[in-house]
Amino acid sequence: MTLALIPARGGSKGIKKKNLVLLLGKPLLYHTINAAKNSKCIDKIVLSSDCDEILRYGESQGIEPLKRPKKLALDDTTSDKVILHSLQFYKKYDNIILLQPTSPLRTALHIDEAFELFKREKADSIISVCECDNKILKAFISDKKGHLKGICNDDYPFMSRQNLPKTFMSNGAIYILKTKKFLKNPHFLQKKTKYYLMDEKTSIDIDTLEDLKRAEVLLKITQ
C-alpha cells in the first residue's frame, strides 16, 4: 500500500500564505491534491500542516488532515522530519510518496510513471529531477589552507563539458520511499536511489510571485 504525503505549512517568506495563494483561480495546494487524487498508484492521501486553514481546505477536498506541531513548521524544518512525524501514524504503508505543493505542474501521470520506475527497478527511493548545466563540475572549492581543489575531483575542472557526466538537480516534485528503509535511514538518498527525469517547464518550483506568474502561463498552455 502507498501513502501520499502533502506537506503544507502555514508560513512562507517569498509569498504570504503561499500554499493557499490562487493559481488559475484555485489554491496552489489544489493542483497537488488533484494530481494525487488522479494517480493510480496512491491508496491514501494525507495533508500535513500546522495551519488549521490549510487543514480545513484539505478536508473540503476529501483529504485526511494531520496536524503538525509548530516546531516542525519552521523555515529550517527538513522534509525528512515531516515524514518521520507522519509515519508515527501511518507506519502500515509500504511506500510513501512526498508531493510538495510548490510543484503545480507535476501531474498524476508524472507520479504514476515515477512509481512504475520505482517498482520496475526495485529501488529504495526515487527522486524527481531535471537536467542542469554540467559546467558546475568544473568549479573549485578552497580547503582550510586556501588551496584550490576540484569540487568533485581535480580532473573535471580541466575536461571539456562534452566529456563530463550529466548532472541533475532535484526539482522537489516527487520523492518515493520504501517506508521500512526510510525508518532505518531517514534520508532521501538510499542505497539504491533512482531518478525520474522531468523537463524544465514541469519542474517549476513556486518560491516567488514571478514563479507563480510563469506557472500560470504554463498551466494555461497545458489545459
State the pLDDT at residue 191: 92
State the pLDDT at residue 223: 65
Q: Which of 34, 47, 53 is nearest to 7 (CA)?
A: 47
pLDDT digits (tens, 9 = 90+) for 160-204: 889 999 999 999 999 999 999 999 999 999 999 999 999 999 999
Percent of the chain with pLDDT over 70: 100
Burial (0-12, 13-18, 19+ Cβ within 10 Å), 134: middle
pLDDT digits (tens, 9 = 90+) for 137-160: 999 999 999 999 999 999 999 998
Sign of the alpha-carbon torsion through 26, 27, 33, 39: positive
Cα 43 to Cα 3, 37, 39, 174, 198: the distances in Å are: 6, 9, 9, 16, 24
In the predicted structure, residue 51 carries a pLDDT above the cut 80: yes
Give strand pairing partners of 65.
47
Q: Give the residue, 14 or 176, on which the prediction is more confident.
A: 176
Average pLDDT value for residue range 10-22? 85
pLDDT digits (tens, 9 = 90+) for 66-93: 999 888 777 777 888 899 999 999 989 9
In the predicted structure, residue 44 carries a pLDDT above the cut 70: yes
Using 50, 70 and 90 to split pLDDT, how confident is the model at 30? Answer: very high
Residue 33 is inside which H or E element, if any?
helix 28-38
Using 50, 70 and 90 to split pLDDT, how confident is the model at 36? Answer: very high
State the pLDDT at residue 9: 86
In the predicted structure, residue 107 carries a pLDDT above the cut 90: yes
